Structure 1
């Protein structure tokens, strides 16, 4: 049996996440508080969902909880053969493979969240039950020339991303064109689209402060849907990931081709576990 740890991205957070993990790893919690300048426990346990759902808070919170969950799994004797993370989850995957330290990863994710939270004027929507080519065709027919296919979550779930006005304009045409559902997402920006190129460049400058080691176990990249080959390529692909599609369907299929038959979601919720059932 070959096991892969999967680390979730934004949308998996919820109030109360990590409550069972924080008492187990007080040193990491303390280190997190020092880096972030606020209490990670209070953030995750607060009933103030607006704060937890704000990108600049969501991303570090997910990273910390996902890393602690992976540490608990490792301490329990679960040893993965591969790791992969969805969007911001890729940082927790790299940390669990010892490519980056816990504290460096948190600094990266906190900065990523701050940069991405400042982008306005964009939106995203999940299109359920429509082929990517059909989605692209409808976007073209309706003048949505700045909308990109952002997340290939499963064959039946594609997320589009771009200017809010263009996203709004194509919701009805997509439904009328045969999509089972079209669901606008509660996000602050057009993540994984060309609108994120400037923020990605800012993030790239920040990443120059850090060093990356070759992962001790293979980590699949969102951008390439295959394992990182060189340590030098990691920061480049983490930058590119911000404005490129998450190729999750291909990534999961690649893990299966590598013999993975046991997937463990390391982090809050079960979004990725549910997606597994939709990917042939």
Structure 2
């Protein structure tokens, strides 16, 4: 069994897509027309330093990883038995599974990026070697209130999200306890309660679209289980305010197949996480 994974925001880098743009000039031009800017210039040269901005990062990554997926099919690589993606990467998983077409996905992630970029009051931090339940207990003991668990990346790494003053208090608490943490380069507290206004607006936007059922199973970040019939719009909206359950998603697949193999499109970060999850780390 083969699971194909798609990286999300954070995996972008200047020069990305250079290996596929020339093979799909029509799609690249179409994407540029939809987005209103030169996709190739943004990804390969980033002359205005916009690639790191959420509203540009998300559609650019989606488009590049979509082209990489089409290239995978063109090469007649081994077909996937299931798909999964980390946050934004889930849109590429759904595209690969036939839930929507390239244009629909592009319009969805462009709107998603716009709404998430607008929610700029906060941030996220990766915390190492402290289980989520214990982490929340420690923060509560120090009077730090308002922190959400935004992601379960591996057994030894969770991600928290909060407003700036709360996150600063959390950092002070972790430093006093000598708990390792790394602030993430994001502009808002994604995957937390603070994204509720964006969720409401995105849910309304999603009503404009219809979705097919996955032709190949797709694991949802929200449930860590395969998408159920008729739940695509709800899962995509809920994804904005719920943690990315990456650890449980991978374990769901591992529990069903001891010989499961993973193939990552868009980087190696997810492959490293899978290795750690397999090792129980």
Bin of the TM-score, shorter chain as denominator length: over 0.9
Alignment partners' CA distance in 1, 2:249 and 2:125 = 21
Q: In the alignment, is the contact (CA less than 8 A) between 1:128 and 1:182 conserved in 2?
A: yes
Report the Cα offset of residue 145 of structure 1. Answer: 2.0
| Other-structure match for 2:95 | 95
After the TM superposition, list the runs of 4 or more consecutive aligned residues in structure 1 that deviate by more than 4 angstroms: none
Counterpart mapping for 1:44-193 below 5 A? 44-48=43-47, 50-78=49-77, 79-179=79-179, 181-193=180-192
| Other-structure match for 1:243 | 241
Report the Cα offset of residue 128 of structure 1. Answer: 1.2
Alignment partners' CA distance in 1, 2:202 and 2:190 = 14
Cα shift readout 1:55-94 (whole Å, capped 9, x = no counterpart): 0000001101111111111222221000001101111100
Q: In the alignment, is the contact (CA less than 8 A) between 2:7 and 2:269 conserved in 1?
A: yes
Report the Cα offset of residue 271 of structure 1. Answer: 1.0
TM-score (norm 2): 0.95
SS of corresponding position for 1:84: strand
Q: In the alignment, is the contact (CA less than 8 A) between 2:155 and 2:247 conserved in 1?
A: yes
Alignment partners' CA distance in 2, 1:96 and 1:234 = 14
| Other-structure match for 1:272 | 270
| Other-structure match for 2:38 | 39
Q: Figure out how many residues of one structure are paired with residues of the other and give that number.
A: 276
Q: In the alignment, is the contact (CA less than 8 A) between 2:7 and 2:86 conserved in 1?
A: yes
Report the Cα offset of residue 5 of structure 1. Answer: 1.0
Relative to 1, partners in 2 of residues 1:49 and 1:126: Cα closer, same or farther, differing over 3 Å? Answer: farther
Report the Cα offset of residue 142 of structure 1. Answer: 2.7
Alignment partners' CA distance in 2, 1:20 and 1:70 = 12
Alignment partners' CA distance in 2, 1:46 and 1:142 = 46
RMSD of aligned alpha carbons: 1.3
Q: Which ranges of structure 1 fall in alignment gaps of 5 or more residues?
A: none
Alignment partners' CA distance in 2, 1:48 and 1:177 = 42
Q: Which ranges of structure 2 fall in alignment gaps of 5 or more residues?
A: none
Alignment partners' CA distance in 2, 1:143 and 1:51 = 38
Q: In the alignment, is the contact (CA less than 8 A) between 1:15 and 1:49 conserved in 2?
A: no
